[in-house]
Amino acid sequence: QTILMNGPYINIFSRCYYKATYYMQEGEAILCSTKGKRVLFYLFSLVFLVIIYSVLSNPQVTNAQLILYIYHNIIEDPSMLVGTSETVRMFSICLCLKNEHNKGNDDTDLKVRQWIAGIIDGGGNFHISKKGYVELSVVMEPRDIACLYKLKQRYGGSVKATSHAKAIRFRLHHMAGIQQVIKDVNGLILNPVRLLQFKKVCQLYNIDIIPSLELKYDSAYLSGLFDTDGSVYYNKQSMQIFITVTQKGRELLDILVPVYGGTVRSSNKNATAFKWTVSQKNEVISLINNYFHWNNCVSAKNKKFGMVKQFYYLSSIGALKAPDHSVLGRSFLSFVERWEATNNLDN
């Protein structure tokens, strides 16, 4: 024990060994006067060690965070537990860690599923063939191919360029993948058009449809919808940044307004397309800081969010209206080059 703790090969395993030995010695001294509880103490000590082993044997990042929690709160100062029932303390700590671990995984997976629902509502399509085969397809710009590979990693399927090579399509048609998609987004689909398609697929597989949940501000749904149908652009004359989402119908966009602000207007004279727009500076900054900072987009559009504040700064010092050959004018031209570079696939 002394060699392990004081030698050059100190590591988490030696710490765990020390911790187990400490509890065995201190726990025995505390509980030896209580008949019948010694066996219970050793049992909970064994449970404690098993949980540590299961954490250490799992390479996931979330488990690494648990190890740090154990290290800082228990192993670094084991005497903090002395004075009360050691078995009760250990058991409570293990349960808390397990609950936090599961809670983190559940929250992360929910965010992923919300993002997927937004992707499907924006650029997806469910199709049932005459023979009863179901296919899910999602079409996006080539620069946003990372979004489609994220779907492929979760469900399988294929990612290929369309025939005219101006877009990339994710295609999924095997039953296991389709059923997993249904399980993931059931209750999260908000687009009326996509919801109608989704209901037909659920009926085909005899799956109960969960009513669509109310959209909450912290839902990752908007980031997925923005990845497919969103845009960030600036207007030099009005010195404004615009965050927009475009749809053929306005029903889905009307859901965004009471949650995220902005307005919905027709984007053409024939009212065949509609656009949700956030353009007020305070609303734009708030949306970036309070939403997209915590619900990152996967598409290349996410890079523009990091440049919005610089645009407002250049506007405030007059760079947008300065002559191109001036110092301020050149600083804005440099900004424009970097802004345009985010549109390129290789950046």
**Token representation of residue 235:** 């207007």
pLDDT of residue 48: 62
Q: What is the pLDDT of residues 210-220, one digit of tens each?
A: 999 999 999 99
Q: Which two tokens stand for residue 206?
A: 């005899």
**Do 244 and 231 contact (CB within 8 A), yes or no?**
yes
What 3-state DSSP class applies to 213? coil
Would the pLDDT of 90 be above 50?
no
Query: Which among 280, 276, 249, 282 is positioned nearest to 264, based on CA atoms?
Result: 276
Q: Do 101 and 58 meet the contact criterion of CB atoms below 8 Å apart?
A: no
Identify the band that residue 285 occupies on the pLDDT scale cut at 50, 70 and 90.
very high
- Taking residues 126-141, report their average pLDDT: 94
Averaged pLDDT for residues 266-289: 90
Q: Quote the CA–CA distance of 117 and 194 in Å, as a whole number.
A: 10
Instruction: Tell me the C-alpha distance between 42 and 55, whole Å.
Output: 20
- Whether 307 shows a pLDDT value over 70: the answer reads yes
Domains and CATH numbers, the chain: 2-83 (no CATH), 117-204 (3.10.28.10), 221-341 (3.10.28.10)
Amino acid at 36: G
Q: What is the pLDDT of residues 146-184, one digit of tens each?
A: 999 999 999 999 999 987 768 999 999 999 999 999 999
Could you give the strand order of the β-sheet that contains 124-128, starting from the edge strand earlier in sequence? Answer: 124-128, 134-140, 168-172, 158-161
